[in-house]
Amino acid sequence: MVEIRGLKKSYPLAAETVEALRGVSLVLRAGEMVALVGSSGSGKTTLLNLLGCLDRPTDGVILLEGQEVQALGEHRLAEVRRRQVGIVFQDAALIPTITALENVGLPFSFDRWSGERAEIPAQMLSLVGLADKGGRYPEELSGGERQRVAIARALVYRPSLLLADEPTGNLDSENGRRIFALFRELVAKHRIAALVATHNKDLAGMADRSVHLRDGRLVDGGDR
Amino acid sequence: MQAIPGHLRLATSDLRRRPLRTSLCVLGVALSTTLLLGTVSLHSGYVRALDSTIERMGYQVLVTAKGCPYEAASLVMRGGNVPMYIDETTFDTILDNPDVLEATRLFMQGMEAGDANRLMVFMGVDERFRSLKPWMTLQRGSWFSGDTSEEAILGYNAASILGLNVGDRLSVGPAHRPVTIHGVFDRSGTQDDGMIFLPLPFAQELFDRQGKLTGVGVRLKSLDRVQPFLEKMFNLPSVQAITMTQFRSTVVQFVATSRILLMLSALVASLIGALGVLNAMTMSVSERLREFGLMKAVGASAGDLFGLTLLETGCLGLLGAVLGTVMTALGGWVLESALRQVVPFVPPGRLIAVDAVSVGGAMVAALLLAVVAGLYPASRAARVRPAAILRQTA
Ligand SMILES: Nc1ncnc2c1ncn2[C@@H]1O[C@H](COP(=O)(O)OP(=O)(O)OP(=O)(O)O)[C@@H](O)[C@H]1O
Ligand SMILES: [Mg+2]
């Protein structure tokens, strides 16, 4: 389970301070897929970055499996990113010089104890239906296939939280639906809490529920 | 940090993606390694060759006519025309000195000989030459049958250069007098291998220098007696003496000076190599900021990315060092011939001795160079802020 309380994020600029998040509270349960909707600039990416430990909140609390992560040191934070959170970006963000299989196993490269898990990347690839394409380089895959590689990579550590920032933004609607279906299936099967940002109402409808951000606040579906 | 194979593949994947940039960079490191290794090896190889040459001169002091003693010594060691002569009576004076164990009269003259008219060095010697240089054994034939017999003994190389064997005839001297080859020496690894030896009185007569010597090689009973002996020589008119030790230290000094110049160019080359690595890696890192941001997002720590980038530069350094070592081993003669231009005496044989220690040292130096040059790009990679980078979606 993942919980955030009173999360705030402001970006101090030269002329003004942008208040991107103004106190967001939310609970994500294991096995639940939540769609994050809101107009452009409402703070979706900001929220996902904070949950993914890529950035630190200005105020508020983030609890991953009961552990407060917002104040952890850099090194511990890297470990949390690696083991507890999986992130999928709008464009697949794969390393172009290594194969699909190596991209899936990338998080293991940064872990001392990855030796005995050598077979997991291949398992994850077959889970997303790419068992036979592990040897291909990213440029030899279609956009949808690349995105599935990214999903396999996000799940390689069996994280408790899966985040996705408009993962279907670069895909046609058919491929987008497939990716969302895959998300739902994996999230339910592996009991992962998932938060998926999207602009697409239809796709949002495929989630278990939706939360709506406006101007840095949850206006619909938030907790408390 | 872990699983080196995985990291290594990740680290080298970008080197493989940009083969031209990588090879230019490696070449830069290789060139500086070559200069560095060449300079170091040149010195040790040179001193070793010089020492063995001096050891094989068989004498510790060389007495010649007054002039520049070092020039005289290097001429005698190299073999050639020494235009100044001492009187043969000096030899008797030297032999009378109680500190002298053995001495040999040297008479040296350069002149064309043989069908191809190659410039050869003629050396007039006596029996004492053999007792000073017991390693000069005859491979074929025998020693001169008499003091004035018109015979020659060839050094090992001279025999093969001239294509002559025992019993053959060769015309020598300004008057082209025929002599019979009476013997051929074994290979000694010294300048003696290239010389044509004649009985001393015959040689003097041949070149019309009766009663004259190029010099006298002296072996003392004890090295402690060098100083008093030199003083005695100093008192003789128109004669000077130089010890091989003096000669050695002067020549080594000279080599050391040229070595400083070489070392400086090696340092400049290293600096350029390091700047090449710095430039290439900085470019490479800034092209890949997004990839580094992504790696951070999936769990790489700052230290991981720092290490990864250093590993990448380390690979460049290692490749450069290996290539540089090979280049030194294959192209060392370029340095050698440069040295032959500037140093008064260069012993025969290979001067560049590439040994394991200097190779190891050059490897470490190249690696260090690359790693130091990699520190800045590595810290840039380590400082990537994933949130900012990943916002810039393609
Ligand atoms: N680094 C930054 N510095 C200053 N302001 C920023 C920064 N990043 C985001 N913002 C601002 O924060 C607000 C929220 O941005 P965010 O990217 O979270 O929106 P979003 O909901 O993801 O929008 P979109 O749907 O267009 O991706 C915006 O007003 C944006 O201008
Ligand atoms: Mg966004």
A106-115 pLDDT per residue, tens = 988 888 765 6
Enumerate the residues of chain B whose CB falls inside 8 A of the CB of residue A54: 296-297, 386-387, 390
Q: Chain A residue closest to B13 (CA)?
A: A97
Count of pairs with CB atoms under 8 A, one residue in A, one in B: 93
Q: For ligand 1, atom 22, which residue shows the shortest CA distance? A: A45
Mean pLDDT within A17-34: 93
Which segments of B288-345 does DSSP mark as H helices, in order?
289-297, 302-342
Indicate the pairing of strand A17-28 with strand B118-125: unpaired
Please give the distance, rounded to the nearest whole angstrom, from the Cα atom of residue A41 to the centre of ligand 1.
5
**What integer pLDDT is reported at residue A117 of this predicted model?**
73
Please give the distance, rounded to the nearest whole angstrom, from the Cα atom of residue A43 to the centre of ligand 1.
6
Tell me: pLDDT of A19 over 50.
yes
| B2: its two tokens | 């872990």
Distance in Å, alpha carbon of B4 to nearest chain A alpha carbon? 9
The mean-pLDDT minimum among A40-44, A71-75, B128-132, B250-254 falls in B250-254
Q: What is the torsion angle, in degrees rounded to the nearest 10, for the CA atoms of residue A159, residue A163, residue A168 and residue A173? A: 80
- In 10 A of CB B89, how many CB atoms? 10
pLDDT per position in chain B (394 positions), as tens?
344 556 777 888 888 888 899 999 999 999 888 888 888 887 777 788 788 778 878 888 989 888 877 777 777 777 777 778 899 999 999 999 999 999 999 999 888 887 778 888 999 999 889 888 888 999 999 999 988 889 999 999 999 989 999 999 998 888 889 999 999 999 988 888 989 999 999 999 999 999 999 999 999 988 888 888 988 888 888 888 888 888 888 888 877 887 788 888 888 988 998 999 999 999 999 999 989 999 999 999 999 999 999 999 999 999 999 999 998 888 877 777 777 776 667 776 667 777 888 889 888 988 898 899 999 999 999 999 888 776 765 4
**Facing residues of A220 across strands?**
A212
Q: For ligand 1, atom 11, which residue shows the shortest CA distance? A: A20
* Residues near ion ligand 2 (Cβ under 5 Å): A 44-45
Enumerate the residues of chain A whose CB falls inside 8 A of the CB of residue B389: none
**What integer pLDDT is reported at residue A44 of this predicted model?**
93
Residue A27's pLDDT band, with cuts at 50, 70 and 90, is: very high
**Facing residues of A21 across strands?**
A9
In ligand 1, the atom with minimum distance to the C-alpha of A48 is: 18
Residue A47's pLDDT band, with cuts at 50, 70 and 90, is: very high
Residue A97 to residue B298, Cβ atoms within 8 A: no
Amino acid at position B181, single letter: I
Residue A108 to residue B391, Cβ atoms within 8 A: no
Distance in Å, alpha carbon of A135 to nearest chain B alpha carbon? 15
The domain spans of chain A are: 2-84+159-220, 95-154
Would you put residue B17 in left (φ > 0), alpha (ψ -120 to 50) or beta? alpha
Ligand nearest to the CA of A40: 1
Question: ipTM score here?
Answer: 0.92
Mean per-residue pLDDT over chain B, rounded = 86
Distance in Å, alpha carbon of B391 to nearest chain A alpha carbon? 8
Residue linked to tokens 């939360």: A211
Contact B328, B33 (CB under 8 A): yes
Distance in Å, alpha carbon of A51 to nearest chain B alpha carbon? 11
The upper half-sphere exposure of residue B306, i.e. CA atoms within 13 Å in the direction of its Cβ, equals 9
Residue A109 to residue B3, Cβ atoms within 8 A: yes
Using a 10 angstrom Cβ sphere, with 0-12 exposed, 13-18 middle and 19 or more buried, the burial of residue B113 is buried
Mean per-residue pLDDT over chain A, rounded = 90
- In 10 A of CB B394, how many CB atoms? 9
**What integer pLDDT is reported at residue B356 of this predicted model?**
86
Please give the distance, rounded to the nearest whole angstrom, from the Cα atom of residue A94 to the centre of ligand 1.
23
Chain A contact for B349 (CB, 8 A cutoff) = no
Ligand nearest to the CA of B389: 1
Please give the distance, rounded to the nearest whole angstrom, from the Cα atom of residue A198 to the centre of ligand 1.
15
Would you put residue B304 in left (φ > 0), alpha (ψ -120 to 50) or beta? alpha
Smallest Cβ–Cβ distance between B301 and the set A78, A106, A115 belongs to A78
Residue B13 to residue A109, Cβ atoms within 8 A: no
Enumerate the residues of chain B whose CB falls inside 8 A of the CB of residue A48: none
Residue of A46, A51, A217 to test ligand 1 pocket, by largest number of atoms within 8 Å of CB = A46
In ligand 1, the atom with minimum distance to the C-alpha of A213 is: 21
Whole-structure pTM value: 0.74
In ligand 1, the atom with minimum distance to the C-alpha of A49 is: 18
| A contact test, residue of B16, B290, B298, B309 with most A CBs within 10 A | B298
Percent helix, strand, coil in chain A (nearest 5)? 35, 25, 40
Enumerate the residues of chain A whose CB falls inside 8 A of the CB of residue B302: 74, 78
Task: Give the integer Cα–Cα distance in Å for B9 and B15.
Answer: 10
Residue linked to tokens 């074929």: B140
Please give the distance, rounded to the nearest whole angstrom, from the Cα atom of residue B387 to the centre of ligand 1.
11
Chain A contact for B301 (CB, 8 A cutoff) = yes
Please give the distance, rounded to the nearest whole angstrom, from the Cα atom of residue A37 to the centre of ligand 1.
14
Residue A95 to residue B390, Cβ atoms within 8 A: no
Task: Give the integer Cα–Cα distance in Å for B111 and B80.
Answer: 9
The domain spans of chain B are: 3-53+251-393, 67-237
- Could you tell me which of B257, B248, B320 has the C-alpha nearest to residue B53? B248
Ligand nearest to the CA of A215: 1
| B269: three-class secondary structure by DSSP | helix
Encode pLDDT of B335-392 as tens digits: 777 777 766 677 766 677 778 888 898 889 888 988 999 999 999 999 998 887 767 6
> Where does A2-84+159-220 sit in CATH, by number?
3.40.50.300
Chain A contact for B134 (CB, 8 A cutoff) = no
**Facing residues of B141 across strands?**
B183
Contact A24, A216 (CB under 8 A): yes
- Could you tell me which of A44, A39, A142, A92 has the C-alpha nearest to residue B394? A92
**What integer pLDDT is reported at residue B343 of this predicted model?**
67
Show the ligand 1 pocket: residues with CB < 6 angstroms.
Answer: A 11, 13, 18, 20, 38, 40-46
